[in-house]
Amino acid sequence: MATRYDLRRKPTLALRHRKASLLRRLRAPSNALRASFVERFGPCGRPNCACRQGRKHGPFYYLTQCVAAGHIVKFLLKTAAQQQAARGGITAYRQFQEALEELSQINTELLRRGEPLPSE
C-alpha cells in the first residue's frame, strides 16, 4: 500500500518546489532489486538428524522475484556479501518507488488545481 501524502492544504508553490526536489534526486538506482529477501529454516533428509525433532537447519537466505504471472525466480544467497547486496538493492528500489509515488500524488494534486504539467 502506498503512503498517502496530505497535499491539499499545501500551497501550489510548495508543491512545485517539492516536485522539483524530487525530480533532481529521482534517478533509478543501479543496484535496484524488485524482489524479496527470505530467511528459511528446514529439515534435511537424514532420518536421525536433530532437525526431525524441531531444530531445523539454517538460516538460509534466498532472493525471490516474481517476473511474470506464475513464474518466480528464487536462488540461495550463499555469502554475506550477496546477502548485503540483496538487502541494499531491495531498499534502494523501495526508496525509489516511494519517491515516484510522492511525485505522482503531487502531479495529481496539481492537475486537480488546474495547473499545467509540462512534459519534460
Kindly give the confidence (pLDDT) of every residue in the chain, 120 residues in length, as a single tens digit, with 9 standing for 90 and above: 678 888 888 999 999 998 988 888 888 899 999 999 999 999 988 888 988 888 899 999 999 999 888 888 899 999 999 999 999 999 999 999 999 999 999 999 999 999 988 876
Hey, what amino acid is at 115? Answer: E
Burial 57-94 (b: 16+ CB within 10 A, else e): eeeebbbeeeeeeeeeeeeebeeeeebeebeebbebbe
Kindly state whether residue 3 falls inside one of the protein's structural domains.
no
How many structural domains comprise the chain?
1
Assigned domain for 21 exists? no
Domain that holds residue 65: 31-112
Q: What is the pTM of this model?
A: 0.79
Q: What is the pLDDT of residues 40-68, one digit of tens each?
A: 999 988 888 988 888 899 999 999 999 88
Is residue 12 in a domain? no
Tell me, yes or no, whether 11 lies in a domain.
Answer: no
